[in-house]
């Protein structure tokens, strides 16, 4: 019997838990071993705390992210929170409850428009930010003070005031966040210096594709906000590099596609095409190698080997109906892979045009308003074929 897969928790949930733990220690002036927070998914979760430190005016701790059985670059990362009472800085943007939330080491900053946070802001998305605020409010509730419009006293603390309300300054950091971010698409999206604090439910579902599809949506939002006239979807880095060289090598600087126009979709073909349609990119280019192209042409929504089966017999039927040369059709029946076929056919244009035509038809079943073009990459880093729809 297969063992059920474990779910995990988002960086946003871990950051909120760490912030609550630090706030509790600041309020109580004693060590706290674990905290329980409510998640947007409608359930609660308990997190053990590590590295607890507290003093009169500040406290800190961290939560180790457990992504469950989901392969996640942030699994095992330490989400640190420092909570401190500070004078409100001039012209600061505080939360409605007098809480300032900032990033520290290993948390990225946005540099491009189109993301959930604006350029120059810490990459702490709105839902995690609300979770952190809620967690800190819960921690200070028992202290019997209000952070706005009233004096307060902290139990078991020497810090008191009868004048201006305090500002709670929350700093979230990830010590190795910048290193981990190098394994993500953050830099492409315009998030520099570290990881993002993410999550809309607080829970990471094992082996889910949501993290990837969220990144696709974010990349397309950035492309639109940056004014890109079109986008190039690619199934992998090799195809993307080939497409960049092919499209920009002869283009004048004013017409060359910017970095933001290139979106790594991986195997999520149907989702990416539909996401393009929702954002008005109705003539996307799709860069891929022949095996992925054939899977797309066969109508598979996802081109991963585990999610679709390559049907070479379908290709053989298409080739026969189209009357392709015998030299090409003869290579299909005995072949074991699509790569073997296209190499044997020497990337014959008639073969590539045939499969591109079926790929366009299949793409329009996923997103009827689209008129995509396909760029087929060879195995030497170049585009072997640029399929075009009539009139484009």
- The segment with the largest mean pLDDT, out of 11-25, 201-215, 243-257, is 11-25
- Judged on CB neighbours under 10 Å (0-12, 13-18, 19+), 15 is buried
Q: Give CATH 3.30.2110.10 domain extents, the chain.
A: 8-204
Q: How confident is the model at residue 167 (pLDDT cuts 50, 70, 90)?
A: confident
Structure confidence by residue, pLDDT tens digits, 345-385: 999 999 999 999 999 999 999 999 999 999 999 998 899 99
pLDDT at 251 over 80: no
Can you tell me the distance from the alpha carbon of 86 to that of 102, in angstroms, rounded to the nearest whole number? 13
Burial of 87 (0-12, 13-18, 19+ CB in 10 A): exposed
Phi, psi of 386, deg, nearest 5: -115, 95
- Residues 8-204: name the CATH superfamily: CbiD-like (3.30.2110.10)
DSSP 249-310: SSS-TTTSPPGGGEEE-TTBHHHHHHHHHHTT--S-EEEEEHHHHHHHHTT-SB-STTT---
Of the pLDDT bands very low, low, confident and very high (cuts 50, 70, 90), residue 252 is low
- Amino acid 242: pLDDT: 93
> Backbone phi, then psi, for 300, in 5-degree steps?
-70, 135
Q: Is 105 helix (H, G, I), strand (E, B) or coil?
A: coil
Provide the pLDDT for residue 72. 79
As a whole-number percent, the residues of the chain with pLDDT over 70 amount to: 85
Answering whether pTM is above 0.85, one says no
Per-residue pLDDT tens for 270-327?
A: 999 999 999 999 999 999 999 999 999 999 999 876 655 568 989 999 999 999 999 8
- pLDDT, tens digit, 9 for 90 and up, residues 174-184: 999 999 999 88
Cβ burial, residue 238 (10 Å; 0-12/13-18/19+): middle
Residue 163 has pLDDT above 80, yes or no: no
């Amino acid at each position: 019997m297969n063992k059920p897969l474990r779910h995990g928790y988002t960086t946003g949930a871990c950051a909120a838990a760490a912030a609550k733990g630090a706030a509790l220690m600041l309020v109580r002036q004693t060590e706290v071993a674990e905290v329980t927070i409510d998640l947007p998914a409608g359930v609660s979760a308990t997190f053990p705390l590590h590295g607890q430190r507290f003093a009169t005016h500040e406290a800190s701790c961290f939560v180790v992210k457990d992504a469950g059985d989901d392969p996640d670059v942030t699994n095992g990362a330490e989400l640190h929170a420092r909570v401190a009472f500070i004078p409100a800085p001039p012209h600061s943007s505080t939360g409605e409850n007098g809480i300032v939330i900032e990033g520290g080491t290993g948390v990225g900053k946005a540099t491009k428009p189109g993301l959930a946070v604006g350029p120059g802001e810490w990459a702490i998305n709105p839902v995690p930010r609300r979770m952190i605020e809620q967690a800190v409010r819960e921690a200070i509730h028992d202290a019997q003070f209000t952070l706005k419009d009233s004096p307060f006293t902290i139990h078991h603390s020497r810090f008191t005031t009868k004048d201006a309300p305090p500002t709670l300054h929350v700093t979230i950091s990830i010590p190795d966040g910048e290193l981990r971010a190098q394994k993500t698409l953050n830099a492409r999206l315009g998030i520099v210096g570290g990881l993002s604090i993410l999550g809309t439910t607080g829970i990471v579902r094992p082996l889910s594709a949501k993290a990837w599809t969220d990144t696709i949506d974010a990349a397309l939002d950035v492309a639109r906000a940056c004014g890109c006239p079109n986008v190039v979807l690619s199934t992998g880095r090799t195809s993307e590099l080939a497409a960049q060289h092919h499209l920009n090598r002869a283009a004048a600087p004013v017409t060359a596609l910017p970095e933001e126009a290139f979106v790594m979709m991986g195997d999520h073909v149907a989702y990416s095409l539909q996401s393009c349609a929702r954002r008005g990119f109705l003539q996307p280019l799709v860069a891929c190698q022949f095996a992925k192209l054939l899977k797309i042409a066969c109508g598979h929504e996802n081109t991963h080997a585990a999610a679709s089966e390559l049907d070479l017999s379908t290709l053989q039927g298409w080739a026969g109906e189209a009357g392709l040369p015998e030299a090409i059709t003869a290579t299909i029946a005995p072949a074991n892979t699509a790569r073997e076929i296209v190499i044997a056919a020497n990337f014959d244009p008639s073969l590539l045009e045939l499969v591109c035509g079926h790929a366009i038809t299949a793409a329009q079943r996923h997103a009827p308003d689209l008129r995509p073009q396909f760029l087929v990459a060879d195995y030497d880093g170049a585009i072997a074929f640029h399929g075009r729809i009539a009139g484009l």
